[in-house]
Amino acid sequence: MKNYFVFQLNKWLAENNYPVVQEAKVHRTITYKEDYGELNAHERMNLIGNDIFHIDKSFLNNKVLLFLDDIRITGSHERMILKMVNEYCLNNRIHMIYFAELINKNIHPSIENYLNYYHVKSIFDLDNIINSKGFSINTRTVKYILIYEFENFKSFILNQSSEFVYNFYNMAVGNSYHTIEAYSRNLNFIREHLLINNNILTEHGN
């Protein structure tokens, strides 16, 4: 979604002789295993409120800032972004952009999980998604797989391509999931499988 948005915006900017988009990342210092989409507004803010957001202030100097997200449910992430903006004393023009927003306050925020897992009822429902054209792994997919019951997890991961397992492992470690005890058994199996069974890490020069 982000790539498509940036590509379309860049076309318009280039056609109208404006500088194209420069991407920056908001860094977060705390990871958690809880499924954010299941929580209500208060629980979300309690969970994410322990997070610390960082960004490169000097890179943002004199730039218009666009913060892009897929959906706004309770506004917790938006409040954390604005908290970061205040802490960094950013006076840029800022726009929060969402693909969708939950307007009806009578609908529980867990509607997000209903949408996230509408098609995925078990880990094996991921097979068609992973093998589909244009699949891109994300943190929700990684966390969903890592927290799964071990025997089903093992059957699933052994049925995946070396490329997927390699990318999956690197994303997990890159997000510090190896420090979360609830993920340790499944992640250790991946590490041992990579190193001992298929030598994927060696194949990729590590």
The answer on pLDDT for 205 being more than 50 is: no
Predicted TM-score (pTM) of the model is: 0.74
Instruction: Please tell me the total number of residues recorded for the chain in this structure.
Output: 206
CA within 13 Å, CB half, 179: 7
Segment 74-96 shows an average pLDDT of: 92
Q: What percent of the chain has pLDDT over 70?
A: 89
Q: Please report which confidence band the pLDDT of residue 120 belongs to, taking 50, 70 and 90 as the band edges.
A: very high
As a whole number, mean pLDDT of residues 44-56 equals 80
> In the prediction, which pLDDT does 98 show?
94
pLDDT at 10 over 80: yes
Interatomic CA distance for residues 57 and 154, integer angstroms: 43
Structure-block tokens of residue 55: 């960004």
